[in-house]
Chain A
Amino acid sequence: MSVPMLRLEHLAKSFGALKVTDGIDLDIPVGETHAIIGPNGAGKTTLIHQIAGSLAPDAGRIILDDRDVTHLPMPARAHLGLARSFQITHVLPRFTALENVALAVQARSGSSFRFWQPVAGEAALDVPALEALAVVDLTSRAHTRAGSLSHGEKRRLELAIALAQAPKLLLLDEPMAGAGAEESRRLVATLEGLKGRYTILLVEHDMQAVFALADRISVMVEGRIIATGSPQAVRADPAVRAAYLGEAA
């Protein structure tokens, strides 16, 4: 078997007596779109935080593309090809959309300890940035300050920033959260276009989106993964129906 893009080994994290991540093992092969679903409080976002590096696990290992990243800080993981979007949007409000994305390009291309040449209009940064903006259909808003974009546009901008990092693994924490129906459809269409080209780990509440996008789905309940499999298999799993889908479907 080939090396998985992401491997979690017995990952564990507790907040006091509460085991929010309770020994999680997961392999995500290269090119797969993997969705994690589960009821509120199942520990999905905590898991994403540990993979991205904003929270340290108590035990276990995180292996990104055959490299142990368990103890690496967030920026180092970003350099190894891990890009993420946040549950609550994190953009640079005083920067234009283009500048937001260009910074992500800058992070991976050449030194940022350049003090004299103006960065605005640097083609090596702006060209890839504009490409990423085109993917999420934000080209017309390139010169708008991110702070004045609509919520849905900010979500798409986050995606463009992640794409501009030329990532190996995309971590998307509820990309549809707070977006309207129209925006959600648009985001799903964009993500469908990315499927296969990137390895994607997706946490999402929008079941329609999850079943449309995911190659495999893991169901998380109380810090554990109770089932992993194809959308059909997961839908049919009696434990899943009992724990989660039963109440929604």
Chain B
Amino acid sequence: MDAPPRSIKDAAAAALRTLTFDQRMAAGLLALMALLPLLSLVVGGSYLVLVGERVMIFAIAALSLELLIGVGGLVSFGHAAYLGIGAYAAGILASHGFGTLAIALPAALLGSALFALATGAVAVRTRGVYFIMITLAFGQMAFFIGTSLAPYGGDDGLSWPTRTLVLGTRLLKSETAFFYVILLLLAATYVVVSRLVASRFGRVLRGLTDNETRMQAIGFTPYPYRLTAYVIAGTLCGLAGFLLGNQAEFVSPAYMHWQRSGELIIMVLLGGTGTLYGPILGATAFLLLEEMLSRLTEHWKAILGPVLVLVVLFARGGIAGAIEAWRRRRMTPAQLLAAADLLARQVIAEGAMRWRLWSRVLSRRIDWLMQLAKGAAMQAGARRQHLQMTLSRGLTTLRLSAERGIALALARWRRR
């Protein structure tokens, strides 16, 4: 029998080694998030917890969308509809006094699944731009249905009487409890999606994204697989909607607006498709950027826009892509330090060269100034001779000391 691990630390390290990189990154992110309520105790106030909740809820939504975009090759531009459906289903039930978990959550999931089944049955038959447009249309359809729900607030939205009751208790009213419930559900979503991607079903879905003709030739009909993925993704996003409504104790058609769908796509792309920790990172980065920039200026979108353009231009795989690229080079921390050192030296060498050029220009300028001063002194006659001498000597001293200083600094840089 193997010797039992010596300590909990060893056991944890052993368990960590069996995880894939993706799982380790996700576990790390979730662990960091789990610390937020503790940090919030130190800082005071519930701000951190509320931001953390929002980040995790959107991470669930982004994960569900990654199942479509990254795994299934289906760019859905109407995914926010499920945020609204999940929230409306639970909110409407709550307004009729059925705001308990046993009723509201299944209703939110079932409502999302049914909407996904009905719209997906049509949308999944199309590909590419047509799929984008048709999902956008269905998303906007959900949005306008929301605005016309007059008994439930219409445009203004619907305030919930309270958060969903758990076994008749107001457990979710405790911000800390609610936070950890969301964390748990995010972890569960991650596990479900990653198992799904690695399963037989997931392999078929990925194969269809890779080469549909080949898949048909070996006997796979794309439609049922894509539709199933679409329904699963919608249902998972419905869960995010249920939580979003609970957090605000409110739901409005704005949850389903196409801009929100666009933001979900941005989260997935920013974080990086092709990984599952990427969407979690993307949701975090997007919401934190939004949070910070909107404090800076009300025109924060004018800053966010270029940032996103830069990410798309220079980091094709998003944040996760940049991390993967770094990993592929397989640098140890020592190698990384060496690389950073080399880069610093190059920057300094470049800087030194610039300095040298600039100092030459400077000394020529000083010479010219002295000529000017000499000429002026001669014209002014002997009485100014003294002044000229002083000026000349002063300038020479200035030049010499400047040159000596630069030379000294240069020598020091070169010695590094």
Q: A112-B201, A118-B198, A119-B200 are in contact. Are A165 and B218 (CB under 8 A)?
A: yes
Residue among B210, B211, B214 with most chain A CB within 10 A:
B214
B147 an interface residue at 8 Å Cβ cutoff? no
Q: How far is the CA of A45 from the CA of B210 in the complex (A)?
A: 24
Q: B219–A95 contact, CB under 8 A?
A: no
The size bracket of the interface on A is: 35 or more
Chain B at the A interface: mostly helix, strand, loop or mixed? Answer: helix
Give the residue of A52, A90, A99, A118 whose beta carbon is less than 8 angstroms from that of B211: A90
A-B contact count (CB 8 A): 95
Name the B residues within 8 Å of A90 (CB-CB).
211, 213-214, 217
Name the A residues within 8 Å of B216 (CB-CB).
54, 73-75, 78
Q: How far is the CA of A53 from the CA of B213 in the complex (A)?
A: 11
Task: Tell me the nearest residue of chain B to A99, going by C-beta.
Answer: B203
A104 an interface residue at 8 Å Cβ cutoff? yes
Q: How far is the CA of A91 from the CA of B221 in the complex (A)?
A: 17
Chain A at the B interface: mostly helix, strand, loop or mixed? Answer: loop
Q: A107-B218, A112-B201 are in contact. Are A92 and B207 (CB under 8 A)?
A: yes
Q: A78-B217, A95-B210 are in contact. Are A119 and B203 (CB under 8 A)?
A: yes
Q: A91-B211, A92-B207, A99-B203 are in contact. Are A115 and B196 (CB under 8 A)?
A: yes
Q: B218–A83 contact, CB under 8 A?
A: yes
Name the A residues within 8 Å of B200 (CB-CB).
106, 110-114, 117, 119, 122
B95 an interface residue at 8 Å Cβ cutoff? no
Residue among A52, A79, A107, A122 with most chain B CB within 10 A:
A107
Q: B217–A119 contact, CB under 8 A?
A: no
A103 an interface residue at 8 Å Cβ cutoff? yes
Give the residue of A91, A115, A161 whose beta carbon is less than 8 angstroms from that of B201: A115
Q: B218–A114 contact, CB under 8 A?
A: no
Q: A90-B213, A95-B207, A103-B207 are in contact. Are A165 and B199 (CB under 8 A)?
A: no
Q: B219–A107 contact, CB under 8 A?
A: yes
Name the A residues within 8 Å of B210 (CB-CB).
92-95
Q: How far is the CA of A91 from the CA of B218 in the complex (A)?
A: 11
A235 an interface residue at 8 Å Cβ cutoff? no
The size bracket of the interface on B is: 20 to 34
B250 an interface residue at 8 Å Cβ cutoff? no
B98 an interface residue at 8 Å Cβ cutoff? no
Task: Tell me the nearest residue of chain A to B232, going by C-beta.
Answer: A115
Q: A108–B207 contact, CB under 8 A?
A: no
Name the B residues within 8 Å of A95 (CB-CB).
206-207, 210
Q: B201–A78 contact, CB under 8 A?
A: no
* Closest CB in chain A relative to B93 CB, distance in Å: 28
Q: A112-B200, A115-B195 are in contact. Are A91 and B214 (CB under 8 A)?
A: yes
* Closest CB in chain A relative to B190 CB, distance in Å: 14
* Closest CB in chain A relative to B52 CB, distance in Å: 29
* Closest CB in chain A relative to B250 CB, distance in Å: 34
B23 an interface residue at 8 Å Cβ cutoff? no
B204 an interface residue at 8 Å Cβ cutoff? yes
Q: A75-B216, A94-B210 are in contact. Are A118 and B221 (CB under 8 A)?
A: no
Name the B residues within 8 Å of A216 (CB-CB).
none
Q: A90-B211, A103-B203, A114-B201 are in contact. Are A75 and B195 (CB under 8 A)?
A: no
Q: B199–A115 contact, CB under 8 A?
A: yes
Q: How far is the CA of A115 from the CA of B195 in the complex (A)?
A: 7
Which residues in chain A, 108-132, are within 8 Å of chain B measured between CB atoms?
Answer: 108, 110-120, 122
Q: B219–A78 contact, CB under 8 A?
A: yes
B220 an interface residue at 8 Å Cβ cutoff? yes
Which residues in chain A, 65-101, are within 8 Å of chain B measured between CB atoms?
Answer: 73-76, 78-79, 83-84, 86, 90-95, 99
Task: Tell me the nearest residue of chain B to A77, going by C-beta.
Answer: B219
Q: A99-B203, A119-B199 are in contact. Are A52 and B228 (CB under 8 A)?
A: no
Q: A103-B207, A115-B196 are in contact. Are A52 and B217 (CB under 8 A)?
A: yes
Name the B residues within 8 Å of A112 (CB-CB).
200-201, 203-204, 220, 225
Name the B residues within 8 Å of A52 (CB-CB).
217
Q: How far is the CA of A99 from the CA of B213 in the complex (A)?
A: 16
B202 an interface residue at 8 Å Cβ cutoff? yes
| Interface residues as binary, B283-297 with A (CB distance below 8 Å gives 1, 0 otherwise) | 000000000000000
* Closest CB in chain B relative to A121 CB, distance in Å: 10
State the A residues within 8 Å of B (CB).
52, 54, 73-76, 78-79, 83-84, 86, 90-95, 99, 103-104, 106-108, 110-120, 122, 161, 165
- Can you identify 19 A-B contacts, CB atoms within 8 angstroms? A73-B216, A74-B216, A76-B221, A78-B217, A90-B213, A91-B211, A91-B214, A95-B207, A99-B203, A103-B207, A110-B200, A112-B201, A112-B204, A115-B195, A116-B196, A117-B199, A118-B195, A119-B198, A119-B202
State the B residues within 8 Å of A (CB).
195-196, 198-204, 206-207, 210-211, 213-221, 225, 228
* A-B pairs, 4 with minimum CB distance: A78-B219, A107-B219, A92-B210, A90-B214
